[in-house]
Structure 1
């Protein structure tokens, strides 16, 4: 059975995007944080995306390694992103590329099926998709990468939950610029 990990950058007040889907608050990550995200992506056996995050990622990373100022880590990230298996959940997109499969039906049923397979851990990104998986009790680990900024509203990292979710701290780490990573696993 695969583990499902939900991780994203978020503001200190808990938003993955400010009002209007603005993610400008995060700025470019430090080299250390970027390397951490690269290692996180390389450890994933399958990445699950909601529509908005897919559109953001696919607007840049297919050619991210061809940018004149791309760092070696960015080149590696772009190549890994293109080659890694991905699933996009959307009822409004009609085509995906770069080793990606589109699911237009029941996301929770498909995520449940994928979790039951053998393989490496799966990562899930996109607050709406992850929120549905959270409410269904499918997320095994949370990666919270909090940036020192308050935006006052937007898309929350944690969707409203129907029941308490007890967590156990696995790791904390501080990155340049005051960014703090915390990892938790679900308990019971």
Structure 2
């Protein structure tokens, strides 16, 4: 059975903003290794469109090994995009061949994906993480906390229906001061 892993960057004050963190070699390598361990990535429309930046490095590598390696790793992983506004994949599949726009209810699709054999399922969008948390479908959280106080933006955990108790399973610290906290939800 596949696990659903919610992995996201967050500032110390709880804000999710892909531009507010410390994107150095160590962080890129960390996420490249994570991508090598998953079989599919789930995105909402907004995060997917932000991640399309990495397609540009496939055609024009940056020369920074860890950034170029991340671009190759994210290119290899199939992606499912959930959107209420997009009508087809023509508007999102610019450059990536392995993208599909979901047409199923998310709970049904995730339950089916979890039952399949294969590598784990990665969720990388704030909105999907919140939605899947409320459905109790996340098996592991990887919260990458950056030593930055942003002061504005979208908080990660602002729309939870119920309290969620978590168990810390491990931590990982980078030279930049970034810390990845690995949590598993406690089941009752």
**5+ residue gaps, structure 1:** 18-22
Check if 1:90 corresponds to 2:89.
no
TM-score by length of 2: 0.88
> Residue 10 of structure 2: SS of its match in structure 1?
strand
TM-score when normalising by structure 1: 0.88
Picking from 18, 42, 49, the partner of 1:55 is 49
Moved more, 130-139 or 150-159: 150-159
Shift of 1:175: 1.0
Q: Which among 22, 25, 32 is matched to residue 20 of structure 2? A: 25
In structure 2, what is the Cα distance between the partners aligned to 1:34 and 1:70? 14
The answer to whether the 8 A contact 1:11-1:146 is kept is: yes
CA–CA distance in structure 1, aligned partners of residues 72 and 146 of structure 2: 26
Within 5 Å, which residues of 2 pair with 1:24-173? 24-27=19-22, 29-58=23-52, 60-67=53-60, 69-93=62-86, 94-95=88-89, 96-97=92-93, 98=96, 99-173=98-172
Distance 2:152 2:61 in 1: 35
The 3-state SS of whatever aligns with 2:138 is coil
Give the whole-Å Cα distance in 1 for the aligned partners of 2:26 and 2:19.
19
Structure 2, unaligned stretches of length 5 or more? none
Give per-residue Cα distances to partners, 1:75-106, cap 9 Å, x unaligned: 22222222211111112223232211111442
For the aligned residue pairs, the C-alpha RMSD in angstroms reads 1.7
State the SS of the aligned residue for 2:43.
Answer: strand
In structure 1, distance between residues paired with 2:152 and 2:73:
33
- Number of positions where the alignment pairs a residue of Structure 1 with one of Structure 2: 181
Q: CA deviation at 1:68?
A: 5.1
